[in-house]
Amino acid sequence: MDRDSEPAIPAYEPADVDLTDPSLYLNRELSALAFQRRVLHEALDQRNPLLERVRFLAIVTRNLDEFTMKRIGGLKQQIEADVTETAPDGRTPEEQLAAVHETLRPMLATQARCYRDAIRPALAAEGIEILDYDDAAAAEQSELRTYFEESVLPTLTPLSFDPAHPFPFISNRSLSLAVLTRHPNAEDPTFTRIKIPPNRPRLVQLGDDTRYVLLEEVIRANLDLLLPNVEIVDTALFRLTRNAEVRRNQEIAEDLIDMVEDVLEQRRFASVVRMELSPDADSRIRSTLATQLGLDEREIYDLPGPLDYRDFAELTDLDRPDLSLDEWTPQPHPRLNGHRQQSFGRPDTTDPSVFRRIQDGDILLHHPYHDFTDTVQRFLSAAAEDPDVLAVKAAIYRTASDSQIIQSLITAAENGKQVAVMVELKARFDEQNNLEWVRKLEENGIHVAYGTVGLKTHTKTALVVREEDDGVELYSHIGTGNYHSETAKGYVDLGLLTADRDIGRDLTKVFNFFTGPSLDEEFRELLIAPVTMRKEFTRCIRREAQHAQAGRPARIVAKINGLEDPGIVAELYRASMAGVDIDLIVRDICRLRPGLEGISENISVYSLVGRFLEHSRIFYFENGARGDPATEDDWGDPEYYIGSADWMTRNLDYRVEAVTPVTSPKIQRQLRFTLDLLLSDNRKLWEMDSDGEYHQRYPDDGERVISAQDILMREALKAGRSEDLITGIPGDYPIAGDLCITGDGTEQPTETGAESKPLTESEGECTVSDADTTDEPFEVTDGGNPDEVLATYSDRWYVPDSVVYNYAVRTPDGERRYLKTKAGVTDLLERLYSDTE
């Protein structure tokens, strides 16, 4: 379909609402920290197994380190560059930085209290003790002193700061011990920095027991062996975080590889943006560090030790199933599970190839429920070995350090296939890893593109070109996550394997852009940023508003990682005011305020934080699917999309992204089930209020606990005996969904216990297009008194058994409409019945 030929849909413009009003937008940085509070809650939540809480304690440190390096570092750069432009919420960079420090400080204090008052005592009660050095027995202290002298001391390099020695360089995120020493008869003490060695175990085990002393405590207690013949005046732990926002202008860089290597070198010596310091540190230690590192008071965080919880993740490897979540092993995909081995390891030659299975119908991959190695890796391995494959192309943003994906591409080249790889050198914090892969690929004669000027390549796509009996076929993989075997075990991502020729042709254009001079602006199926994606998402949102204005049911559900783009937020506000029911499952940053009277009453914002990181992107636009199209109408089928892009300005305008439509009714049903399930979660789901605060949903007394990730794991296990991950909504799960699926004659889902209405043959044959723009839209009125309207039409509505919707309205044609607000019910009832009664 040539989307450029479709008529433009004008924006719904409500009266008396200024969508540029800063009060309508939340701050990006504070929203990101709100997500980290939800992550921290997993460590605080006593319902979680103890070692799972420890894991999240470590995750919080890693996440807040990255936030500090990227976001605080970026704000400091803006301030130093005298940037005064305000963010959409009206704050200047200086105001944002002050708010960030004010928000971050109590979060880190809460993390420290969580360890000290909750997790450490709970571990001790379970026989896992983290002792202070002085609490170890005398014999144990003697063993620790021997260990220090033999295994730790030789690795240490004390660096003093005095007239004969410059202030030492202190690396990013390294844990250090500041020591004040005084020589006999000397008046002033000397400052010395000792780096806690990262190549020694941080948790020093006592004997064979699960009893530990922290390495920094062992070093502190034995300083007399490292610094003899001086008085130890005072010691203090500290830890620095440096700015990650160091850049060179790509437009003037002679060579992209040189530029990236230069960035990596600059990052090592970048300015310090935060220092964590023991709260009882001697004032001379504090002033020395602040002066030499150029820190002001707000950048110094006084925190009790331990200052770095990342190493505590080692405890999760203990053999304590009673303190851990049940282990999860990603499952083979049912559609690809015909790959069997006969005795003595000989392959079963009767098994159809992966390409034959894709030809039989599109395949949806859902990681980590599906095994990455058995699906994506198998697809590329088969391409490398198959003699009929002519070419293999892949876009790599992040990949594992021992990537089998890369090895498959090398094997393909060795087997004489044309191989082209896009490796994004500018993938933050993966630059060094990607540089090494670039060199290895080029050493094997593979053409590698490094990136594009002004854009990051964030798309997760692969293309296989195969010679078959009836001509050349194109096999595509479009994913939401990286080609990374390790993160695929802990990140929730989706991928589509398809032989759709139009999608293959679109991907061909994208890969040609990586090596050619320009990016095509016309695509048959894929939404491609930065050329078509913003326009197409805007069109879809406006189309829903048009359906709502015409009195038809209208709904948008988006599952994304971030909603930051002010333009998309404004479009969603307009759609809500037009009457569109909108559910947003946003893991992380969200600028939009739900529940604002007269503006976003029809919008709900949720966030799910669980054992796996929610990373998939799903977009659902109802497109009049619950309406009653006449034969001349060309709307009626819902549209589903998945892909690599979030609704953030960087994704829509400054990255190469790919989002694919999903047209298979079976796969649409799987996506619908996933969305309904997430919206029904009452164990890990959070809901945002209009102030930007989140509240976790809890089951009512006696209500069944619904954990979406747990259910999807169980469904993946059951699916081994089926052709799909989900064959339908399982009857034993009370899913309170209202998403509509057409095109295959299945039933429309309704609330639990409600009667389902089969689709008619005509409904199953509707095609996807724009709404009929010639329809006269209904005017959205203020309506009468809500309570009076509800009383007048008391037989037309009821309260459904739903955690998502507060009202259900019976329509004249026997359908049901589900709504969240009294105002929405009032308006709908008057639309449907005021002229007929």
Residues involved in catalysis: 458
How many Cβ atoms from other residues are within 10 Å of residue 440's Cβ?
16
Amino acid, single-letter form, for residue 3: R
**Tokens at residue 600, please?**
């976003």
DSSP code, position 16: T
Place of tokens 């009673």: 322
- Helix (H) or strand (E) run with residue 657 in it: strand 655-662
Q: What b-and-e string marks burial along 63-75, b requiring 16 or more CB atoms within 10 Å of the CB?
A: bbbbbbbbbbbbb
List, in sequence order, the alpha helices (H) in 634-719. Answer: 649-653, 665-680, 708-718
Nearest CA-CA partner of 607 in 24, 39, 25: 39
**Tokens at residue 435, please?**
């540089």
DSSP code, position 151: I
Cis peptide bond N-terminal to 121, omega within 30: no
Q: Find the Cα–Cα–Cα–Cα dihedral 9, 12, 18, 19, rounded to 10°.
A: -60
**Tokens at residue 656, please?**
């190469």
**Tally of CA atoms within 13 A in the half-sphere of 232 that contains its CB:** 17
> Cβ contacts of residue 24 below 8 Å, gap of 6+?
569, 573, 593, 596, 599
Q: List, in sequence order, every beta strand (DSSP E) within 533-580.
A: 555-560
* Interatomic CA distance for residues 484 and 481, integer angstroms: 8
Cis peptide bond N-terminal to 368, omega within 30: yes
Question: How far apart are the two ends of the chain, measured CA to CA in Å?
Answer: 44
Q: Find the Cα–Cα–Cα–Cα dihedral 742, 747, 749, 754, rounded to 10°.
A: 150
Amino acid, single-letter form, for residue 308: D
> In whole angstroms, how large is the CA radius of gyration of the chain?
29
Helices 50-67/28-44 angle, 10° precision: 160
DSSP code, position 592: B
* Interatomic CA distance for residues 368 and 382, integer angstroms: 21
**Tokens at residue 663, please?**
């047209």
* Interatomic CA distance for residues 459 and 510, integer angstroms: 10
SS3 of residue 213 by DSSP = strand
* Interatomic CA distance for residues 72 and 33, integer angstroms: 12
Q: What b-and-e string marks burial along 280-305, b requiring 16 or more CB atoms within 10 Å of the CB?
A: ebbeebbebbbeebebeeebbbebeb
Q: What would the DSSP string read from start to end of 717-780?
A: HHGGGSSSS-SS--TTS---------SS-PBPP-STTSPP-BPPTTGGG-------TTS-PPP-
Between strands 418-423 and 456-457, the pairing is: unpaired
* Interatomic CA distance for residues 49 and 165, integer angstroms: 49
SS3 of residue 505 by DSSP = helix
Phi, psi at residue 831, to the nearest 5°?
A: -60, -45
DSSP code, position 663: -
**Tokens at residue 790, please?**
């509800």
- Helix (H) or strand (E) run with residue 686 in it: strand 685-688
**Tokens at residue 175, please?**
């844990």
